[in-house]
Structure formats: structure tokens, C-alpha cells
């Protein structure tokens, strides 16, 4: 995917189900800036829209700002009403 600058497009995916960690985590949310290839990973307890939205806000948006687009694989945790609300900001369109 061609991008022109850092923060333009961020890809999202979830790794798991993994062996349960000592803290109870079974999934990892991975976020990648397509321009710089900078990657952030956040462990998730439940794999649901609320935990994904919270992780995106705390791990990516609070540090790097809102990307122009978030790209996912159309998983149910990315296609929920809550994720649509996170992406209502015109700088965060969700694409699949």
C-alpha cells in the first residue's frame, strides 16, 4: 500500500489465540504505520470492540495522533458500532 507520509495509514490486526500469559492475556493487537513501518503491540484480555478501541486510543492515538485511515481485515472486533464511533473523527476513516 502506497503512503505519502507518517501517520497516513495504520494497519490493525489481532494475533491469537495464544497461550494464556500470567496476566491472563490471550491476544495481541498489532498496529503498523505503513509509511515508517513503526509497529506497536498491545496485549488484550478480551478480544472485543471495547478492548480494541481502548488499545488503539491508548497505544497509538494518544502517542502519535489520529491516522488518516485505519486498515483492518474486517474482523468483527473492527467492524462494530464502537469502532465506527472511534473512527467518526474525519481523520480516522476505517477501511478494510
**What are the pLDDT digits (tens) for 53-71?**
888 888 898 888 888 888 8
CATH code for the domain of 90: 3.30.420.10
- β-pairing, 69-71 vs 9-15, is parallel
Per the domain annotation, does 2 fall within a domain?
no
Sheet (strand 27-33) strand order: 39-44, 27-33, 9-15, 69-71, 94-95
| pTM of structure | 0.76
Residue 67 belongs to domain spanning = 9-95
pLDDT digits (tens, 9 = 90+) for 10-66: 999 888 889 999 999 999 999 999 999 999 999 998 877 788 888 888 889 888 888
| Domain contains 83 | yes
Question: Total domain count for the chain?
Answer: 1
Q: For residue 88, give the C-alpha cell.
A: 467518526
Amino acid at each position: 500500500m502506497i503512503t505519502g507520509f507518517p501517520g497516513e495509514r495504520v494497519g490493525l490486526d489481532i494475533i491469537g489465540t495464544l497461550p494464556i500469559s500470567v496476566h491472563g492475556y490471550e491476544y495481541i493487537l498489532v498496529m503498523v504505520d505503513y509509511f515508517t513501518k513503526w509497529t506497536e503491540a498491545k496485549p488484550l484480555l478480551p478480544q472485543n470492540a471495547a478492548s480494541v478501541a481502548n488499545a488503539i486510543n491508548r497505544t497509538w492515538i494518544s502517542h502519535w495522533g489520529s491516522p488518516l485511515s485505519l486498515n483492518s481485515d474486517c474482523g468483527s472486533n473492527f467492524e462494530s458500532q464502537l469502532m465506527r464511533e472511534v473512527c467518526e473523527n474525519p481523520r480516522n476513516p476505517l477501511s478494510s
